[in-house]
């Protein structure tokens, strides 16, 4: 009887600890945001992603550079927990298959200076925070 009571007490304490940890993790995730400039390199190209607005939604710009060409993309993003939604509103790729579609990606906050984005056209990208002062300007003029 005494062992059963101890077992129940230990289980209750473990459940409370797990719930507290889960709640704290959820609060931590709620504070995360992709806002900023990020860079990753694939075998073919270097990609710079700039998330503006925030902390949970805004516009994004993407520049993919390879040896002989540059491809730009502009759109809207929204993030919640591990989900990143991106909607392409303008792109250099004619007849882009995801143009105008709200595409869902998985986003992970790997560390203070890196994120992981996984989904269509962005398979397991590990992006590092770009150097201070890096910004993308698409057709903007200074006044």
pLDDT at 111: 79
pLDDT at 19: 85
Answer whether residue 135 shows pLDDT above 80: yes
pLDDT at 88: 96
pLDDT at 29: 58
Q: Are 49 and 6 in a shared domain?
A: no
Q: Are 47 and 102 in a shared domain?
A: yes
> Measured between alpha carbons, how far is 86 from 60 in angstroms, rounded to an integer?
8
pLDDT in tens, 92-114: 999 999 999 999 999 998 877 89
Q: Are 24 and 41 in a shared domain?
A: no
Q: Are 25 and 39 in a shared domain?
A: no
Q: Are 59 and 101 in a shared domain?
A: yes
CATH of the domain at 80: 2.40.128.360
Answer whether residue 142 shows pLDDT above 60: no
pLDDT in tens, 62-86: 999 998 899 999 999 999 889 999 9
pLDDT in tens, 4-53: 888 888 888 888 888 878 776 666 655 578 999 999 999 889 999 999 99
Q: Are 52 and 113 in a shared domain?
A: yes
Q: Are 75 and 16 in a shared domain?
A: no
**Torsion (CA) 31, 35, 36, 38 in degrees, nearest 10:** 90
Which domain, by its residues, includes 23?
1-31
Q: Are 40 and 104 in a shared domain?
A: yes
Phi-psi domain of 89 (left: phi exceeds 0; alpha: psi -120 through 50; beta: other): alpha
Q: Are 120 and 84 in a shared domain?
A: yes
> Measured between alpha carbons, how far is 134 from 47 in angstroms, rounded to an integer?
13
Q: Are 75 and 122 in a shared domain?
A: yes
Asked whether residue 92 is domain-assigned, the answer is yes
Out of 109-113, 120-124, 132-136, pick the least confident. 109-113
Q: Are 38 and 51 in a shared domain?
A: yes
Work out how many domains the chain is built from and give that number: 2
């Amino acid at each position: 009887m005494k062992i059963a009571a101890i077992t129940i007490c230990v289980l209750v304490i473990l459940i409370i600890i797990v719930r507290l940890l889960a709640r704290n993790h959820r609060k931590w995730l709620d504070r995360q945001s992709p806002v900023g400039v990020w860079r990753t390199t694939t075998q073919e190209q270097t990609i710079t992603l700039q998330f503006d607005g925030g902390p949970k939604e805004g516009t994004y710009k993407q520049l993919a550079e390879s040896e002989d060409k540059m491809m730009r993309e502009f759109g809207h993003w929204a993030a919640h927990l591990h989900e990143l939604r991106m909607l392409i509103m303008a792109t250099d790729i004619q007849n882009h298959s995801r143009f105008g579609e709200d595409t869902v990606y998985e986003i992970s906050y790997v560390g203070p200076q890196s994120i992981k984005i996984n989904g269509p056209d962005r398979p397991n990208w590990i992006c590092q925070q770009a150097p201070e002062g890096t910004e993308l300007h698409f057709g903007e003029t200074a006044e």
